[in-house]
């Protein structure tokens, strides 16, 4: 599939203003995009609303061996090998399933 520096991405998904890719061998998640705080509601999962112009590993999920990623318009859903679901980004309508409507900057 895609290549990020020395990382081979086995699955890639895109949202309205962001992208995500899974590196299959180690199960690492990389995200990028968001442009600016206007278009980034935490959907990149890096703990802030800054845009990211190149793929960056989501460090909060390091060691979780990610198997699938799906991007919504402004949120991201991630599944790991233990079938645990993580979500982050816009939660305005509860789309991350966290029980509230606050944007989520790190995977929960």
Radius of gyration for the alpha carbons in the chain, expressed in angstroms and rounded: 12
Predicted local distance difference test score (pLDDT) of residue 5: 62
Task: Say how many domains are in the chain.
Answer: 1
Those residues whose C-beta lies under 8 Å from the C-beta of residue 98, and which sit 6 or more positions away, are 87, 91, 104, 108
Q: Is residue 26 part of a domain?
A: yes
Q: Is residue 104 part of a domain?
A: no
**Number of helices followed by number of strands (H, E) in the chain:** 0, 8
Predicted local distance difference test score (pLDDT) of residue 1: 46
Q: Which residues of the chain have pLDDT under 70?
A: 1-5
Q: Is residue 9 part of a domain?
A: yes
Interior/surface letters 29-41, b for 16+ CB within 10 angstroms, e for the rest: bbbbbbeeeebbb
Predicted local distance difference test score (pLDDT) of residue 102: 94
């Amino acid at each position: 599939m895609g290549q990020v520096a020395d990382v081979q991405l086995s699955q890639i998904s895109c949202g309205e203003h962001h992208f995500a890719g899974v590196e299959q061998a180690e199960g690492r998640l990389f995200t990028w995009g968001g442009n600016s705080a206007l278009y980034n509601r935490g959907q990149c999962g890096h703990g802030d609303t800054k845009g990211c112009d190149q793929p960056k590993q989501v460090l909060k999920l390091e060691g979780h061996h990610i198997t699938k990623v799906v991007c919504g318009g402004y949120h991201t859903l991630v599944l790991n090998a233990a079938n645990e679901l993580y979500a982050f980004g816009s939660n305005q309508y509860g789309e991350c399933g966290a029980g509230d409507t606050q944007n989520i900057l790190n995977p929960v």
